[in-house]
């Protein structure tokens, strides 16, 4: 995930070259000007932060951008060229929960293919005096695909990932698996093709010889770069480091990972209950579809006093109401009439309808309370960095009520003010906008976006082993 604004000032010439990523456009042709206009309308109507972002100070700059994009959209074909215009529009808001999407379903016949061998890749890499972080020969952790990420031999100034070998169905050597389109903050942006030939815009941030995109984990095999820092594990981990400290790793706040974490914490409850210190590693945790409260076992580790949960304000737009109504209908087919989840969502939908066009607060005030405070762990170190945002920052907003927690690392990414981002489709099925529909009450007094949370104990950039840093800090 990216951690700064996604606006990339790319020349029209360079953008037009992106169409070479595929050899054919999507079957349904769309006018880019229509797609852009609908993206603007949806964002204006739905985005909970629109009035905060487009105000007296920014209105002229916003109008200038719209005028420029609309003129370009008239001449732009659909596909990646049009997507770039949507991405530049989304970048105006400097909110990482606002993003444009373009996910065409490619195929072995539509994906670009070039003649490129592993020997060519090795020769190219050997001649390079300074490699970009993403350049090299990479292999999936499963061993089912090997790629070379190199300069595009046909288009100067661009980089591609080309398949060298693969045992995945229908993937052949020479297929272009990813097209790099520019850097945004700490992330390289790429049009990335997954194993099922679904293409998505993704942020890539190599960490030494590794990077991960959703379920795809890549390791660089040529050349091996020097690791600049200890690489966090990409799986949920609960283990004892020594008699004095337990290590817990959570890569993402997703429902599936929270369920795994909850199970592991229960399994190791006795061990944790006799160990005074705990390190919670959430480096690179960009959030997810869940929160810390999804595991009471986890919450009780750091709980020391009641934790009030801020009530979000829901923007009751027509589009959000329609989406909620469709969700309620799905629940009606699945649940009994007296089901609590169905009842809650019906009440929420009725509230939105009653205040159409307004901001509607969450119906109930929620405070997390437990009957007791656990003796162990006595102290908890939270490892955080610029890759932390959204649900992980929401965890930090709760963690401030705990006397056990000390934050180690760097500033977090800073994207938590507007949330509950949902996809809203545009004129063409391949395009969509992710738009937050909630606004947090702290925006007016203590905003987080593009600021982030400050660590209590900064860890210097030269430090490779953050875990050992914490252990030494505790013993010194």
Show the 3-state SS of 123-186: HHHHHCCCCCCCCEEEEECCCCEEEEEEECCCCCCCEEEEEEEECCCCCCCCEEEEEEEEEECC
Structure tokens at 331: 């629940």
Mean pLDDT of the chain: 88
Q: pLDDT by residue (tens digit) across 133-181?
A: 899 999 998 899 999 999 999 888 889 999 999 999 999 999 999 999 8
Q: What is the pLDDT of residue 187?
A: 72
- Do 219 and 138 meet the contact criterion of CB atoms below 8 Å apart? yes
Q: CA torsion sign, 102 to 108 to 113 to 118?
A: positive
How buried is residue 314: exposed, middle or buried, by Cβ count under 10 Å (0-12/13-18/19+)? buried
Distance in angstroms (rounded) separating the CA atoms of residues 93 and 469: 37
> What is the value of pTM for the model shown?
0.78
- Run of H or E including 38: helix 32-46
Q: What is the pLDDT of residue 26?
A: 42
Q: pLDDT by residue (tens digit) across 323-368?
A: 999 999 999 999 887 888 899 899 999 999 999 999 999 876 788 9
Of residues 177 and 24, more confidence is placed in 177
- Do 165 and 171 meet the contact criterion of CB atoms below 8 Å apart? no
- Run of H or E including 347: helix 340-354
Q: pLDDT by residue (tens digit) across 384-411?
A: 999 899 999 999 999 999 999 999 999 9
Residue that the structure tokens 């399994």 belong to: 267
Q: Which of 183, 152, 176 is nearest to 162 (CA)?
A: 176
CA 46 to chain centre: 20
Q: What is the pLDDT of residue 154?
A: 87
Q: Which of 416, 417, 396, 398 is nearest to 407 (CA)?
A: 396
Tell me the domain boundaries of the chain: 12-97, 118-222, 237-312+366-416+452-475, 318-356
- Do 283 and 254 meet the contact criterion of CB atoms below 8 Å apart? no
Q: Which residues contact 190 (CB under 8 A, 6 or more apart)?
A: 161, 178, 179, 180, 181, 201, 202, 203, 204
Report residue 230's pLDDT band, with 50, 70 and 90 as the boundaries: low
Q: Could you give the percent of the chain with pLDDT greater than 90? A: 67
Distance in angstroms (rounded) separating the CA atoms of residues 328 and 343: 9
Q: Among 1-15, 143-157, 385-399, 457-471, whose mean pLDDT is lowest? A: 1-15
Q: What is the pLDDT of residue 16?
A: 34
CA angle, 359 then 287 then 326, to 5°: 50
Q: Which of 58, 7, 46 is nearest to 418 (CA)?
A: 46
CATH class of the domain defined by 237-312+366-416+452-475: alpha beta
Report residue 183's pLDDT band, with 50, 70 and 90 as the boundaries: confident
Judge whether residue 20 has pLDDT over 60: no
Q: pLDDT by residue (tens digit) across 74-99?
A: 998 878 789 889 989 999 999 989 99
Q: CA torsion sign, 199 to 205 to 208 to 212?
A: negative
pLDDT (average), residues 51-65 = 97
Give the DSSP letter string of 401-424. Answer: T-SSEEEEES------SEEEEEEE
Length of the chain equals 476
Q: What is the pLDDT of residue 404?
A: 97
CATH class of the domain defined by 118-222: mainly beta
pLDDT (average), residues 225-245 = 78
């Amino acid at each position: 995930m990216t951690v700064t604004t996604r606006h990339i000032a790319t020349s029209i010439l360079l953008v037009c070259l992106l169409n070479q990523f595929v050899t054919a456009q999507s079957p349904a042709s769309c006018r880019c000007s229509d797609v852009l206009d609908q993206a603007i309308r949806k964002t204006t109507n739905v985005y909970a932060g629109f009035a905060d972002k487009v105000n007296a100070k920014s209105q002229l700059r916003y109008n200038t951008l719209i005028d420029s994009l609309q003129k370009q959209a008239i001449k732009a074909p659909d596909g990646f060229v049009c997507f770039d215009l949507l991405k530049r529009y989304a970048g105006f808001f400097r909110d990482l929960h606002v993003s444009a999407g373009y996910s065409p379903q490619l195929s072995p016949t539509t994906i670009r293919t070039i003649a490129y061998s592993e020997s060519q890749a090795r020769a190219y890499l050997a001649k390079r005096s300074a490699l970009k972080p993403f350049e090299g020969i990479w292999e999936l952790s499963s061993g089912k695909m090997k790629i070379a990420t190199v300069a595009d031999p046909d288009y100067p100034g661009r980089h591609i990932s080309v398949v060298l070998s693969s045992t995945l169905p229908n993937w052949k050597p020479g297929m272009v698996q990813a097209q790099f389109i520019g850097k945004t903050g700490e992330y390289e942006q790429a049009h990335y093709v997954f194993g099922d030939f679904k293409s998505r815009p993704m942020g890539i941030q190599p960490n030494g010889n590794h990077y991960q995109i959703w379920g795809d984990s890549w390791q660089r095999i040529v050349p091996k770069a020097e690791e600049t820092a200890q690489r966090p594990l990409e799986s949920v981990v609960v283990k004892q480091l020594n008699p004095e400290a337990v290590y817990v790793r959570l890569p993402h706040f997703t429902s599936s990972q929270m369920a795994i974490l909850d199970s592991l914490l229960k399994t190791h409850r006795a061990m944790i209950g006799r160990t005074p210190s705990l390190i919670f590693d959430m480096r690179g945790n960009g959030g997810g579809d869940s929160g810390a409260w999804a595991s009471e076992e986890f919450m009780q580790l750091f709980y020391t006093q009641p934790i009030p949960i801020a009530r979000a304000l829901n923007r009751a737009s027509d589009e959000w109401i329609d989406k909620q109504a469709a969700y309620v209908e799905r629940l009606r087919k699945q649940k009994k009439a007296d089901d609590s989840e169905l009842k809650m969502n019906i009440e929420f939908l009725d509230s939105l309808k009653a205040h159409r066009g307004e901001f509607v607060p969450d119906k109930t005030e929620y405070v997390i309370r437990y009957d007791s405070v656990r003796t162990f762990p006595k102290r908890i170190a939270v490892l955080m960095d610029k890759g932390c945002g959204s649900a992980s920052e929401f965890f930090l907003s709760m963690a401030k009520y705990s006397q056990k927690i000390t934050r180690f690392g760097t500033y977090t990414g800073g994207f938590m003010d507007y949330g509950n981002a949902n996809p809203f489709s545009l004129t063409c099925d391949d395009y969509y906008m992710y738009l937050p529909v909630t606004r947090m009450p702290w925006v007016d007094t203590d905003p987080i976006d593009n600021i982030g949370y400050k660590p209590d104990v900064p860890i210097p950039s030269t430090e490779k082993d953050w875990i050992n840093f914490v252990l030494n800090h505790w013993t010194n």
